[in-house]
Each structure stands twice: as C-alpha cells, then as structure tokens.
Structure 1
Amino acid sequence: MQPITRPGLSPWYRSDVDQARPLARANAARLKCILKCAFSLNEEEAHVLAYLVSRGRGAIAKDIAEALGRNPEVVRRALRSLHSKSLVVRRPYPLRRGGRAYLYEVPDNIVVALTEICKKVSEIIEMINDRRNNGG
C-alpha cells in the first residue's frame, strides 16, 4: 500500500495535518476501498475519485490519466460516470490550442462525508488494535 502522506505522518488519517482537505492524508488503498464500497464504484472510478480527493483541487482528464498512468479514454469514461453519480462536478476549462475540456472537482460536501467515514473507520481500527494489544 502506498500512503499519500509524507514520511513520518500517520499512514491512515490525521485530521490535524490538513484541515481544508484532511483526506489528502489518507492511505490511497484504504480510500479506494471505502469509495468502492460506499458508492458502488468500479476499480477505475474509485482510482480516479481517490486521486481527485487526495489532490485537493480540480484536474482535467488528460492530467489525471498521466498522473495515474492510465489510458485517457478510460479516465474520461470514469469521470463521466462519476459526474452522472454527482460525485464530481465539472466546469469548462479553456485550452490554449482551442478545443473543449472540463475541469473535474470533488464537491466539498462529498469530501466532508468521506472525512467522517474515514474518521469512523480509523476509530474502529484503533479500537481493534487496542483490544488485540491488551489481550481483549
């Protein structure tokens, strides 16, 4: 599992690190699993949404595809699906050479909801680890 965090930070969740976008500190693999489960997403949709959440700002499909090492058409298909499920919003993005592109962003209410889910999951994991370590 590749954490999105800097070395020395909690590998799962630290709300005190980034109050504006606390999920930017979430473990990418766990975040993808939560997204797949909570929103019934496929692997590509979860991968793209996790990237946008952890990025903390919008991006166009081409840049997302490059960052994730994915085929641009696969990313565009995932973004269309996420948009139809209201998990991302899009707005026109002017390209230097002309043409049409969209800037995709995760709405703040989705980020807040995911933050709460991640907090609860983190609490449960800590509780289980405490019980295991204390012989309970």
Structure 2
Amino acid sequence: SVRFLHSDVTVPEFSDYRRPEVADSTKSSQPSDEARKTYSYLVTGITTVATAYVAKNVVSQFVSSMSATADVLAMSKIEVKLSEIPEGKNVCFKWRGKPLFIRHRTASEIEQEAAVELSELRDPQHDLDRVKKPEWAILIGVCTHLG
C-alpha cells in the first residue's frame, strides 16, 4: 500500500537569521516594532536618494552628449553684412557645419517666385509667407544622407 501522508517533514530553523528582538516567538514584537521600521525606512530612503542622484547624473550626461559641442556653438554665431551683397548675387557661409546661402533677389526674381502655383510645390506655401523681406532669400543646406 502507498502512504500519502508525510509526517516526517522537518521544519526549517531560521533562528540564526532572526533579529534578537524577535528571536523568541512567544513574546510580542510590538516593543521593537518602531525601531525595526525606522531602520527599514532609513535604508529605503538612503537607497532612493542615491538612486535618484545616479539617475539624474546619467540623464544629464546623456542629454549633454546630444547637445552641440563647443566648436559647433562657436561657429553658430555669424553676422553677415547684407549691404555688401549686390542685388542679383548670392554668397555662401558655413553655419554650424552646414552651408548657409544668402541671395539678394531682384524684383523680377521676387515676381517669378510669387507667381509659382502652390499645387506645383512639394511644401505648398507662398514665397511671401516664407520670407520676412522679399528681397532676401536665406536658405540652409541640410544634407539628408551625410547628416
């Protein structure tokens, strides 16, 4: 016959791992409850503060790594004397590592661009909506395959 009742199971002994305040299971643990909770809360609080500090530093380093470098920021400030560009001519500058094109447009160029049908444009917007002063066309060249 097979016996399905096991009464020979040994109960594990955890006395070595228990705190002295709660070692005796016949006594109430209420007197030491506040001290034990204080310790647990203190450890949890210190761990939380340390984790938040490390997380803040990691996020700060990650965000700062994506910002522009000092040499790029130094190149980002450019002043152009528009009065030195004759009508009908254009100049090219380097701004933040990208080409910046400035064209002093003639009256006929302004009229020609204003006459373009919006349906023909990939990004339909009137020329007068794109510029502050119609005689100047300022364009930045963005390379789509090299960055």
Q: Scaled by the length of structure 2, what TM-score is found?
A: 0.23
Greater relative contact order (Cα < 8 A, sep 6+): 1
Max Rg structure: 2
Q: Scaled by the length of structure 1, what TM-score is found?
A: 0.24
Normalized per residue, the structure richer in helix is 1
